[in-house]
Structures are given as C-alpha cells and as structure tokens.
Structure 1
Amino acid sequence: MADQTNLSRRTFIRRFERETGMPPMRWVVNHRVLSARRLLETSDWAVERIAAATGFGTAANFRTVFRREVGKTPTEYRHAYRTDRPAASPASGG
C-alpha cells in the first residue's frame, strides 16, 4: 500500500494510524473479522468457504484469528448470533 501511495513504509504507517487509529494490518484483520461475522450470522457457508472469502486463507488460520479477536470459535459465534434464515450467498449469486 505504501508503494501505491508513493510514501515510504514508515510514513504510510504513521499516516494510516493517524487517520484510522490503528496500524494497517490491524485494520485489515478487523475488517476481515467483521466480514466473517456477517457471513456466520447470515449464511450457511462452511468455515472453509468463509475463510477463503474473507482473506484468511485456511480454515485453521481463520479459526485461530477469529477466536483471538472475538473470544469464540466461528461455530460458537454462529450458534450464538445466527439469524433465522440464511441470506442468499453474495458470491454465488443465489
């Protein structure tokens, strides 16, 4: 991201933190977790599919980061916060 803004890495991080209140990777993780939470609440996608769709890569990595950030496993979170009816999958078009 620093290269795309024609800033040094340090300058980019400093400016990003000033604007958002957090380092770039913390911001990315927060937004990935938010996207994953929404999918867990509204879809019946498998954890593996949510991990891939939200940028976590592997299901194992997703589970580790999600639990650290939210305090629950993805499955625990889904059971606690799932809506009554899963929404249509945004990526599959159906």
Structure 2
Amino acid sequence: MVNRNQLGRNPRFAFLAIADPWPKVSGFAKVYLSTGEVKKYLYGGEKYGGEPFFLPGSSGNDEENEDEGYIFCHVYDKETKMLEL
C-alpha cells in the first residue's frame, strides 16, 4: 500500500503486511523504496491482523510529507479473543 496521492508518481514509501508465521500477519513494515530500508512494526504476542491501509494526513498530499498519515489495520488478539482497529 502506498499513499494514494502518490499513485502514478514515484512513491518513496510502501507499507506492507508481515506474514510471519505464514499465513498469519504479525505486523506491518514501512519500506523505503529508494534504499530498500525496512522498518518493522510487530503487534507482539498472539496478535494477528490483515493488510495495512494508509490514510494520508492533512499534509500527506505533497512529496515532502508523503509518509505523514495514519495506518489502519484490524488486529485480533488470540489470548483475549478481542478484535481491534
């Protein structure tokens, strides 16, 4: 998932699900497309979610602030049997 305001351009960042252990999604990663650098954000414990959705913030419309925004993902906690957004 990239900032939808950057579609058709040359986005600098992508947000991807981390499927480990396969097929469970245990977190998401922010990938710097120009360098390949990856920052991982893991849910921890027995928490699993789905694909992340990136919603640009108010200044996320320009190239300078492309990664400014919010990441939404549902996360299920296997221990408490609760689902969170």
TM range (shorter): under 0.3
Which one has more relative contact order, counting CA pairs under 8 Å at least 6 apart? 2
Structure with greater helix percent = 1
> Structure 2 length as normaliser, TM-score?
0.24
Structure with greater strand percent = 2
> Structure 1 length as normaliser, TM-score?
0.22
